[in-house]
Structure 1
Amino acid sequence: MTGFALGVDQEEWCGQLRALAAERLRPLAEKGEPGRVNRPLLAALGELGLLERVFASGALELCLLRESLAYGCTEAETALALQGLGAYPVLRAGSEEQRERWLPGVRAGRVVAAFALSEPGAGSDAAALALSATADPAVDPAAGGGWRLSGEKCWISNAPEADFYTVFARTGEGPGAKGVSAFLVPADRPGLSGAPLDMLSPHPIGSLTFDGVPVGPRDLLGEPGRGFRVAMDTLNLFRPSVGAFAVGMARAALDATLAYTAERTAFGGTLSDLQAVAHRVAEMATRTEAARLLVYAAAGAYDRGAGDVPRRAAMAKLLATETAQYVVDHAVQLHGAVALQRGHLLEHLYREVRAPRIYEGASEVQRTIIAKELYAGVVTR
């Protein structure tokens, strides 16, 4: 990628992904039940090698993958992204035993992963986690003891149907973020239960209840008290790609609007002949392109190992998700009542586009991160 322009091979690959999403994956998505894990869709993502690429690629390729799939099938994009989000901590911080046991199934689409960070009282303020991990020598005496998890998680994607959860709990090595540890918790652990939540977006989202769930040292992801860093490392990779998901939706809405307004007749011509319409479409296109450039700039910074990744990632997610909301909303307005019908592309996107402004750090949180990073570089007298 030079000067934020994609190469010919990358453009061709993105085109192939868009076609694949529309022709192969969308039919599977349409057969799924809203709010439930679509295992046939996940299996297809595995068979096509797309889940493998989530773990084998850098941030740039992940963004290209998510944007292209989102353009053709948002359900496929989300299924792929949730697998990556739930399993990336295992890849990054897990033991060899954990990686060998769980990741092959995730890559094949047979094992469903979930990222369990948010709680009823700790959404945007992730360092305020209350899920407790209480030391208990009886949990794993051979390994020197373990912990019992007690509390709740909420708004967890793929819950309660996931096969394992990356869970962040308070082990108390220090205050705030310093006392959080990460655990790999299989879904069949005693004391773990969950329930689905009926949400606006069609993704599988639920709550989890931990009633003394036993976890031992072999379930740790990384070191005790270092779990918050595991979470942030994961989010720094996936935040720009959330922006790519948003850009994919914005581009789909924009293309649909261009086609519709160029053909729809009104007031003696087409809608595109009206300056008010043409100017609005121009604004939609400009904002989408700006967001796309910022997303890929952040992805490039991540792949280069730049020191300003948190700021760039936050900027990319903020601008792209806010832009997608703007573009989809105006696309609906320009289409009129037809876009409000169930099953219309824009009706679907209108429900899909709202959630990314909240999850993985709401827009307000992204602004806080950006400001903090900016002021960290200011020398005061």
Structure 2
Amino acid sequence: MPAFSLEPEQIAWCGELRTLAAEQLRPLAEKGEPGHVNRALVAELGRLGLLGRLFTSGALDLCLMRESLAYACTEAETALALQGLGAHPVHACGTPAQRERWLPKVADGTAVAAFALTEPGAGSDAAALELRADPKPTPEPEPEAAGSLTAEADGRTGWRLTGEKCWISNAPEADFYTVFARTTPGAGARGVTAFLVPADRSGLTGTALDMLSPHPIGALDFDAVPVTADDVLGEVDRGFRVAMGTLNQFRPSVGAFAVGMAQAALDATLAHTSRRDAFGGKLKDLQAVAHQVAEMALRTDAARLMVHAAASAYDEGAPDVPKRAAMAKLLATETAQYVVDSAVQLHGARALRRGHLLEHLYREVRAPRIYEGASEVQRGIIAKELYADVEVPQ
């Protein structure tokens, strides 16, 4: 990490996190079952105080955490990030009751959170989501029952959620979901509401999906799932703001995750090319190899700097956060794909053997270019923000 961009205390903390990830978290990760929530790993992240930092740290500290953990244990990084993504809307927009019930459990690793935005027909175009929140008529209570009303019949607004969500990380094993549903048909982004939905709510079921990435991903089915005003996160019909606010904070840290993987691949390549005999010398002595490694290092450092800049802009409340966040996620995830692929090429067939670090990174590195806004979406955001600042002569 370039020392000029970080304080000595931050650099030391990153080193401590790498050691922690390698010595305490990786052994737990290796005992987990691919495709399932590793609750022992989540609990250890809570015991170490790392999950609690999700709600007390700024965006830059989140990036430093995610990069450092990703370098030594991608499973630990992902478990931490998914807790943050699923619970951030509760932290930022939840009611006191919602926060009191769920955030302490997320922080200590006893409750698993999930962010349920994507649908079969609404992935990159998040504003087109179709999960319906149909108003539930509020019945008039019987006079003799007026003192014992249920949550759905005490005068508060109620809905029934009907539809599907898919590609949801931590589903179907999460304990609660931040769910985005359409409360006003035909209103685009303005008609979406965010709800906090416990996993045991009636009508909510899910299935696991067998994916390339080793962390749990599933689909959710909502069959008239009841929710009330007490479950709303933020304001009715303003849920898209909740989603975008969460993504603006987490997109730079997706880039940090990618940078951590790129750095791990780069360091493995430096070690391999320094000791590997080839054509009468070491592999690093071949100019083509040395130049390739130099390019890998150049792109990794450039991506890291852009991630730090975007996170710092978020922490400072800068007006151009959406553009910076999109740029950071785009550059870092595309860079990581390039660096890991180059590392595999320079290692040869050994890198494709099951269990090799690069085989693991090769599977992990592909998904970040898609989730939380695909690379194409990030380019669209960047272009939109750029043209918004252009003054066209009349």
TM range (shorter): over 0.9
CA drift at 1:36:
0.2
1:295 alignment partner AA? V
Partner residue in 2 for 1:97:
97
Partner residue in 1 for 2:189:
177
Give the structure with higher Rg (CA). 2
- The answer to whether the aligner puts 1:345 opposite 2:350 as a matched pair is no
- The answer to whether the aligner puts 1:243 opposite 2:261 as a matched pair is no
Structure 2 counterpart SS, 1:168: strand
Alignment equivalent of 2:223, drawn from 211, 219, 224: 211
Q: Tell me how far apart the structure 1 counterparts of residues 250 and 258 of structure 2 sit (CA, whole Å).
A: 12
- The answer to whether the aligner puts 1:163 opposite 2:175 as a matched pair is yes
CA drift at 1:173:
7.2
Partner residue in 1 for 2:326:
314
Q: Tell me how far apart the structure 2 counterparts of residues 155 and 235 of structure 1 sit (CA, whole Å).
A: 16
Partner residue in 1 for 2:48:
48
Partner residue in 1 for 2:297:
285
Q: Tell me how far apart the structure 2 counterparts of residues 177 and 160 of structure 1 sit (CA, whole Å).
A: 26
CA contact (8 A) 1:132 1:151 kept: yes
Structure 2 counterpart SS, 1:338: helix
- The answer to whether the aligner puts 1:304 opposite 2:316 as a matched pair is yes
Alignment of 1:116-195 (within 5 A): 116-138=116-138, 140-172=152-184, 175-195=187-207
CA contact (8 A) 2:3 2:11 kept: no
CA contact (8 A) 1:127 1:228 kept: yes
Structure 1 counterpart SS, 2:212: coil
2:123 alignment partner AA? G
Partner residue in 2 for 1:107:
107
CA drift at 1:144:
2.7
Structure 2 residues without counterparts, runs of 5 or longer: 139-150
Q: Tell me how far apart the structure 2 counterparts of residues 273 and 322 of structure 1 sit (CA, whole Å).
A: 28
CA contact (8 A) 2:59 2:249 kept: yes
Alignment equivalent of 1:372, drawn from 384, 387, 390: 384
- The answer to whether the aligner puts 1:61 opposite 2:68 as a matched pair is no
CA drift at 1:4:
5.9
Q: Tell me how far apart the structure 2 counterparts of residues 64 and 309 of structure 1 sit (CA, whole Å).
A: 18
CA drift at 1:143:
3.5
Deviation per CA, 1:139-184: give whole Å up to 9, x if none: 7121433000000000000000000000000000761000000000
- The answer to whether the aligner puts 1:363 opposite 2:375 as a matched pair is yes
Structure 1 counterpart SS, 2:122: coil
CA contact (8 A) 1:64 1:244 kept: yes
Q: Tell me how far apart the structure 1 counterparts of residues 265 and 302 of structure 2 sit (CA, whole Å).
A: 16
CA contact (8 A) 1:181 1:224 kept: yes
CA drift at 1:7:
1.4
1:12 alignment partner AA? A
Q: Tell me how far apart the structure 2 counterparts of residues 75 and 351 of structure 1 sit (CA, whole Å).
A: 12
Q: Tell me how far apart the structure 2 counterparts of residues 77 and 10 of structure 1 sit (CA, whole Å).
A: 18
Partner residue in 2 for 1:222:
234
Query: What TM-score, normalized to structure 2?
Result: 0.95
Structure 1 counterpart SS, 2:121: coil
Partner residue in 1 for 2:267:
255
Structure 1 counterpart SS, 2:184: coil
CA contact (8 A) 1:4 1:297 kept: no
1:152 alignment partner AA? E
Partner residue in 1 for 2:145:
none
Query: What TM-score, normalized to structure 1?
Result: 0.98
Query: What number of residue pairs does the alignment pair up?
Result: 381
Q: Tell me how far apart the structure 2 counterparts of residues 12 and 92 of structure 1 sit (CA, whole Å).
A: 29
CA drift at 1:123:
0.3
Partner residue in 2 for 1:9:
9
CA contact (8 A) 2:71 2:260 kept: yes
- The answer to whether the aligner puts 1:274 opposite 2:286 as a matched pair is yes
**Cα RMSD (Å):** 1.3
